[in-house]
Structure 1
Amino acid sequence: MEDPSKSFKSEDNLGNLASWSTITQTTSQTITKRDRWKGKIDFLIACMGFSIGLGAFLLPYFVSVIVAGVPLFLLEVALGQFMSKGAIAAWDICPLFRGIGCASTMINFLVNSYYTVILGWAFHFIFASFSKELPWAKCGHSWNTNSCIDAVVRTNLSNSTSLLRQHIFGADPASEYWENRVLRISNGIDNLGTIQWDLALCLLLAWTIIFLAICRGIKTSGKIMYITATTPYLFMIILLIRTAQLEGALNGITYYLKPDWDKLTDMTVWSDAGTQIFFSYAIGLGALSALGSYNRYHHNSVRDCLLFAGANTFTSLLAGFVIFATLGNMSYISNVPIHLIAESGPGLAFIIYPKALGTLPGSPIWSFCFFIMIILLGIDSMVSEFVHYYFFKN
C-alpha cells in the first residue's frame, strides 16, 4: 500500500497535501501506540474466524463472493490498515461518515448478543454428550410426549408424506429434547416462563471464555485463534470420513452438488446467498476495519483478502459435504426426500444433526466432536468480532 502523501508533490495540490498531511500525521501518532500482529498470518487466522458458515448456494454463492464479498472485505480491511484505527475512529478519514462506524459497532453488538446464546446451547449439548446414551436418542424421558416415537419406519411416501413429516419433525425424541428440555418452549408469548438456570450457566460460561480470550487484546486473542480457527477443520474432516461411510451418504452429496437451474430465477435464493456472504465475511460489522488496523502500513492486505476468500469457500464446501452426507443417510433410513429433511438455522445444528448422530455406534463420541467443533467456531467468531470493542476509540 503506497503512502498517500507521496502522491501530492506539485504546488497545485497544496490543499490536498495539507489535508493528507493532517491525516497521515494523526495516523503516524497512532501507529506508535497501537499493537501489531506478531506474525504475518495472524491477521489471516483472525479473519478465518468468520469463514465458518454451514451452507452454501454454489453458483449464487460464488457470484456473491466475486461481486460483493471480496471487494467489500478488502475495502474495510484497507480502511482500518490505512488509518491504523478501530471501527469508529477509522472514519476520521471522512468525519461526515463517522456515524457508519457507530452503526456498525451497534449492529456487531446485537449480532454477538444472540451468537453467545447459540454458543450457550452448544455448551448444553456437549455436557449432555457425557453419557452412555444420548438423551435425545430415544423416548421415555420426562420431557417426551405420548406421541414420541423412537424410529421412523421406512414406508412408501405416496400416501403418507404429511404423516411422516410430522413424525420426523414433531414427534421424534431429538425435536422433543430441543423444544421441551433445552428451550422449554412456553404455550404463548404472554407466558414468559421461568429462567432456565442450566442454560443461564452455559451462557455465563460462554461470556466468561470470550472475556478471558480478549481481555488482553490481540496478544492473547491472536494466539487463541490459532487453535479455534484451525482445529474445527480437523473435526469436520473426521465427521466427513465417518458420515461418508453411511448408507445413502452418496445420494446426499449428489443432491448437494447437483444444481437446480430453475431456482436461479428465484430472487430469494440470490438474496440468501448475499446474506450468507455478508455474515460469513463479517461485512459491515466494523470488525474487519478493527482487525486490519493492527496490520503494518505496507502489509499485503490484497493477498490476505484472496486467501481468506479461498479459505471461506473451502470451509463452506467442506461443511456442506458433511451436512448433506448426513442428510442422505437420514433420507435413506426414513425413505423421505432430502428436501423434506433439510432444515436451516438452529434446527440443523440442534435437531437434525443430533438426531443423525444418535443413530451411530459410539454416538456420544461423535456428538462430542460435533459440538466441540460448533463451540470452537463460535468462540473464534466472537473473539474476532469483539476485539475491536476494546479499541474502537483508538
Structure 2
Amino acid sequence: MDENESSSRGKWKNKTEALLSCIGYAVGFGNVWRFPYLAYKNGGGAFLVPYLLMLFLCGIPLFFMESALGQFSSTGCITVFKICPLFKGAGYAIIIVNMIASTYFNLISTYPIMFLTYAFNDPLPWSSCDNYWNTKDCIKLKVDGAGTQVNDSIYRNSSRTVVKTPADEFFHLEILKISSSIEEIGSVDSFLLLCNIISWIIVYLCIMRGIQSVGKVIYFTVSFPFVILFILLIRGLTLPGAWDGVYFYIWPEWKQLGNLKVWADAALQIFFSLGPGWGGIVNISSYNDFKNNCKLMILHLTLLPTSQTTVKITNLLYPSI
C-alpha cells in the first residue's frame, strides 16, 4: 500500500482510541456470559490456573501477531494475506463468519432495548404473576430480612410440580415468545423487529463515518459497561449471603486440573475472550500509526483488570432462590 492509500484510509486520532477499541473488542459477550459459567463448572478459582497459562502461551502471542500484522500492512483481514496468497481464502472466510455472527450479536443487543421500554412500566412486568402471559405455574417471590425466597404458603397449598418465577415467564413467554415445540415456528414479532431495526440504526450511526465516528463512540461504549458492572458489583456484594456465594463460587477444586476438558475449555475461552482469528484485531491495528508501539499496548491490555472477575462475582453471587 502506498502512502496516499494509507493516509486516505484514516488513522486513530490518538493512542487512547486505539487502546479503548482493543479493550472494547476483548471485553465482550465471551467474558460477560461464558467465562463465569466455565469457571463455576471447571473448579472455581482453580480454573484460573489453566486459563492464565493459556492466556500467556496462546492468547497474548496470537493477539500480538495479529496486531503486528495489521499495523504493518495497514490493511484489513482480506488484503493482509498478501503476505501469503495461498491463505487469502481465510480472509474471505473471516468476513462470512463475521456476517453470520453480527446478525445474532445484534439481536442480543436488541433485547436490552426491549427491556428498557418495559422498565418504564409501573409495576414492573416481571415482578408479578398478574400479566396476560403468566401461567398457572408462576409463583411470586417475597422479600424479607432473610433475602428473596418462594412464597411458601402459596407453594404448600398448591399441587404444582413445576415452579416458575415471574421473571422467568416474562423472558421466555413475553420477550422470546417461545413456542411449544420446534415444529411451531410462529410469526414475526413486530415489536422485536422494531427494536432490531433501532439496534441496526445505532450500529450504522456508530460506523457511518468510519474510523472517525468509531473513535468517538468507543469512549462511551467501552467505559459504560464497566460503570454498570461496578454498580452491579456493589449491589451484589451488599445482598444477604453474598459473601457466602463468593466463597462457594471461587473456592478452588484442584482435582479438576486433572481433567483434560478443563484445559480445553480454558484454551477455547481465550478465543472468546481476546477474539483472535476473527479479523477484528487486524482491522483495529491497521488504523494504528506505523511506528506505534503495539507491544506496550498489549501490555496495558494484559495488566488491565478485565470484566471477568467483576462479572463472575456480580452474576453468580446473588443468593440462590
Structure 1 unaligned segments of length 5 or more: list them: 1-25, 156-162, 335-394
Mapped pair 1:48 → 2:34: no
Aligned partner of 2:246 in structure 1 is 253
Mapped pair 1:175 → 2:168: yes
TM-score (structure 2 length as normaliser): 0.85
- The amino acid of 1:202's aligned partner reads C
Aligned partner of 1:37 in structure 2 is 12
Residues 164 and 119 of structure 1: is their aligned pair in 2 closer, same or farther, counting only changes over 3 Å?
farther
- The amino acid of 1:107's aligned partner reads V
| Percent identity between the two aligned chains | 34
Q: Give the Cα separation in 1 of the matches to 2:168 and 2:103.
A: 25
How far 1:29 sits from its partner (Å)?
5.2
Mapped pair 1:321 → 2:318: no
Aligned partner of 2:137 in structure 1 is 147
How far 1:276 sits from its partner (Å)?
2.5
How far 1:145 sits from its partner (Å)?
0.7
How far 1:100 sits from its partner (Å)?
1.5
Aligned partner of 1:235 in structure 2 is 228
How far 1:109 sits from its partner (Å)?
1.5
Please show how residues 122-201 of structure 1 align to structure 2 within 5 Å: 122-151=112-141, 152-153=149-150, 166-167=162-163, 171-201=164-194
Q: Is the contact between residue 6 and residue 74 of structure 2 (CA under 8 Å) also seen in structure 1?
A: yes
Name the count of aligned residue pairs: 293
- Deviation per CA, 1:93-129, whole angstroms, max 9, x where unpaired? 1111111111112111111111011111121112111
Q: Is the contact between residue 126 and residue 170 of structure 2 (CA under 8 Å) also seen in structure 1?
A: yes
Q: Give the Cα separation in 1 of the matches to 2:265 and 2:198.
A: 32
- Deviation per CA, 1:154-184, whole angstroms, max 9, x where unpaired? 88xxxxxxx99953xxx21111111111111
Residues 164 and 261 of structure 1: is their aligned pair in 2 closer, same or farther, counting only changes over 3 Å?
farther
Aligned partner of 2:80 in structure 1 is 90
Residues 122 and 267 of structure 1: is their aligned pair in 2 closer, same or farther, counting only changes over 3 Å?
farther
TM-score (structure 1 length as normaliser): 0.70
Q: Is the contact between residue 72 and residue 286 of structure 2 (CA under 8 Å) also seen in structure 1?
A: yes
- The amino acid of 1:43's aligned partner reads A
Mapped pair 1:59 → 2:49: yes
- The amino acid of 1:303's aligned partner reads L
Q: Give the Cα separation in 2 of the matches to 1:172 and 1:37.
A: 48
- Deviation per CA, 1:268-301, whole angstroms, max 9, x where unpaired? 3333333322122121111111111111111111
- The amino acid of 1:63's aligned partner reads L
Structure 2 unaligned segments of length 5 or more: list them: 40-47, 142-148, 153-158
SS at match of 2:125: coil
Mapped pair 1:263 → 2:263: no
Aligned partner of 2:265 in structure 1 is 272
- The amino acid of 1:282's aligned partner reads G
Aligned partner of 1:371 in structure 2 is none
Q: Give the Cα separation in 2 of the matches to 1:165 and 1:129.
A: 31
SS at match of 2:226: helix
Q: Is the contact between residue 83 and residue 93 of structure 1 (CA under 8 Å) also seen in structure 2?
A: no
Please show how residues 285-304 of structure 1 align to structure 2 within 5 Å: 285-304=278-297
Mapped pair 1:71 → 2:56: no
